[in-house]
């Protein structure tokens, strides 16, 4: 059997995926993408899934990029197939119905940055380095970077990063809105554990509906998006989750979802 490239840990429905190619700085190759897509396909089917955390093994890299050793000899047709595989896999990550959080440690470059951009939000250690340096290799981002990056940080900043290829540190990533928060490397694991508890304790259907409202509403005009929110809000009163949550509040106890 081939060695697994992604480690999965399940904690009460909060799943953590760790890409484990530390010698290659967790670079994305076809094998990693194939394994990641298979895992995401199975996670999509789980009604008990609460959230997904994704990270890279070791302290040096989240994902340092796509695997240049694998890419360097590809033909245009092979490059298109590789990008299509990555886009398909990353889209599955992006459309997972539960919150998806990137825990960024170390290098988050190229395909790694594109992977993080497909997550709902990102938390970085203070040693994290971000960038889309593909132009330094004679190509452009191919895993969604030219499209998701401007949607996250605005077109001017995105063009700055993708045309210069410059790298930015965690504090600049925080300033431009690429990540949500920055913390010392030593605290990232404790944060992940606390976030796991928090996400596991919230109403699972409410969390899914909240994500749906934000994602689907972004592509609609305001009135249509507000109508979507109202529908999802009302739907929450149809099941037992709302009754338990509000009863627990009135009775001054923790809800049991």
Cα–Cα distances (Å) from 156 to 101, 146, 151, 160, 162, in that order, read 25, 12, 11, 6, 10
The per-residue pLDDT for 2 is 63
For the chain, give the percent of residues with pLDDT over 90: 92
Select from 198, 204, 206 the least CA-distant residue to 236: 206
Number of Cβ within 10 Å of residue 241's Cβ equals 18
Beta strands in 12-99 (DSSP E): 14-19, 51-56, 61-63
The per-residue pLDDT for 3 is 79
Beta-strand pair 6-11/51-56: unpaired
Please measure the distance between the N-terminal and C-terminal CA atoms of the chain and give it in whole angstroms.
39
User: How many angstroms separate the CA atoms of 60 and 53, rounded?
Assistant: 18
Statement: 6-199 belongs to CATH 3.40.1710.10: no
The per-residue pLDDT for 12 is 87
pLDDT tens digits for range 218-229:
999 999 999 999
Helix (H, G, I), strand (E, B) or coil at 105: coil
pLDDT at 250 over 70: yes
pLDDT tens digits for range 2-35:
679 999 999 989 999 999 999 999 999 999 999 9
Is 229 labeled as catalytic in the residue annotation? no
- Give the residue with greater pLDDT, 99 vs 201: 99
The per-residue pLDDT for 165 is 97
Q: What is the value of pTM for the model shown? A: 0.94
Beta strands in the chain (DSSP E): 6-11, 14-19, 51-56, 61-63, 100-104, 107-109, 121-125, 129-131, 167-169, 181-183
CATH homologous superfamily of 202-250 equals Lyase 2-enoyl-coa Hydratase, Chain  A, domain 2 (1.10.12.10)
For the chain, give the percent of residues with pLDDT over 70: 99
User: How many angstroms separate the CA atoms of 86 and 36, rounded?
Assistant: 10
Is 193 labeled as catalytic in the residue annotation? no
User: How many angstroms separate the CA atoms of 75 and 93, rounded?
Assistant: 27
pLDDT tens digits for range 163-206:
999 999 999 999 999 999 999 999 999 999 999 888 888 999 99
User: How many angstroms separate the CA atoms of 22 and 57, rounded?
Assistant: 6
Q: Which ranges in the chain are annotated with CATH 1.10.12.10? A: 202-250
Strand partners, 204: none
Q: Which ranges in the chain are annotated with CATH 3.90.226.10? A: 6-199
Catalytic entry in 35, 37, 114, 241: 114
Catalytic entry in 134, 189, 193, 251: 134
Strand partners, 16: 9, 53
């Amino acid at each position: 059997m081939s060695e697994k490239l992604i480690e999965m840990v399940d904690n009460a429905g909060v799943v953590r995926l760790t890409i484990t190619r530390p010698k290659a700085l967790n670079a994305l190759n076809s094998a990693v993408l194939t394994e990641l897509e298979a895992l995401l396909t199975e996670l999509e089917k789980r009604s008990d899934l609460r959230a997904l955390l994704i990270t890279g093994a070791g302290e040096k890299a989240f994902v340092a990029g796509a695997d240049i050793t694998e890419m360097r000899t590809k033909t245009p047709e092979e490059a298109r197939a590789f990008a299509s595989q990555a886009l398909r896999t990353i889209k599955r990550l992006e459309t997972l119905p539960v919150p998806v959080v990137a825990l960024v440690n170390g290098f988050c470059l190229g395909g790694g940055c594109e992977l993080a951009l497909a997550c709902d939000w990102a938390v970085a250690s203070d040693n994290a380095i971000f960038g889309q340096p593909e132009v330094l290799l004679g190509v452009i981002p191919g895993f969604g970077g030219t499209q998701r990056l401007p949607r996250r940080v605005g077109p001017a900043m995105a063009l700055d990063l993708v045309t210069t290829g410059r790298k930015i540190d965690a504090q600049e990533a925080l300033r431009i809105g690429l990540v949500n928060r920055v913390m010392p490397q030593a605290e990232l694991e404790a944060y992940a554990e606390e976030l796991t508890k928090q996400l596991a304790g919230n109403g699972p259907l409410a969390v899914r509906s909240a994500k749906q409202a934000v994602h689907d509403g972004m592509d609609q005009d305001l009135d249509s998006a507000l109508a979507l929110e109202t529908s999802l809000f009302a739907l929450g009163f149809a099941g037992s989750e709302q009754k338990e949550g509000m009863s627990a509040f009135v009775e001054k106890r923790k809800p049991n979802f």
